[in-house]
Amino acid sequence: MSHHHSHPRSELVFDTHELGRRVGMMKQVRRVAPAPDGIGIDVIGVPPSSGIDLDLRFESVVEGVLVTGTAEVLLRGECVRCLEPVELSDEIDLQELYLYPDKELDDVEASRLEGDQLDLEPVLRDAVVLDLPFAPLCRPDCEGLCSVCGANLNADPEHDHDVGTDPRWAGLVDWTPDHD
Ligand SMILES: [Zn+2]
Ligand SMILES: [Zn+2]
């Protein structure tokens, strides 16, 4: 039996053995880990296998191991106004206490070590999703699309429809049904 089998080779799993459960012991880890699938919402998310730049500190405390640090992720999605692709990076702050497996605490939601192994993935997922822009924009003042013809107004700020005189639209005016 081995705890290692539950997370085969995941680069989001860390071994804390060397902290030795001695309060105050610390370990600094920098690692680029491939993003797991499915971190995101409809409009934006972390591309699977893109690099997550982790800068973490593990600190042994009385109840377990305290993780603090940052994760820099690539986000890819589309602008909610003009539907153009959006790509940006986001730095997420992480802080989580992982209880030792034998610690009794009422909080059933608490993260726990499995043996000496610490799985960052669930915490990372939650932190990234909480930090996602729910209405990503290609730029703060994106003009969006023309509600009449769908043209991208960023590319054509003077864009306008004068139905009365524009010959391209004369046909549509004539087409309007006048019976009934
Ligand atoms: Zn846009
Ligand atoms: Zn238009």
Domain ranges (residues) in the chain: 3-131, 145-180
Distances (CA, A) of 64 to 21, 67, 81: 8, 10, 46
- Residues 6 or more apart whose CB falls under 8 angstroms from that of 40 comprise 46, 75, 77, 128, 129, 132
Type of residue at 97:
L
Residue 23, both tokens:
């309060």
Segment 154-179 shows an average pLDDT of 67
Output the CA 50–ligand 1 centroid distance in Å.
23
Ligand having the closest approach to the CA of 169: 2
Q: How far apart are CA 71 and CA 129, in angstroms?
A: 13
Instruction: Calculate the CA 123 to chain-centre distance.
Output: 12
The tens digit of pLDDT for each residue in 140-149 reads 999 999 999 9
The tens digit of pLDDT for each residue in 72-130 reads 999 999 999 999 999 999 999 999 999 998 877 777 788 999 999 999 999 999 999 99
Ligand having the closest approach to the CA of 84: 1
Whether the pLDDT of residue 19 is over 90: the answer is yes
- The pLDDT value given to residue 1: 42
Segment 29-42 shows an average pLDDT of 94
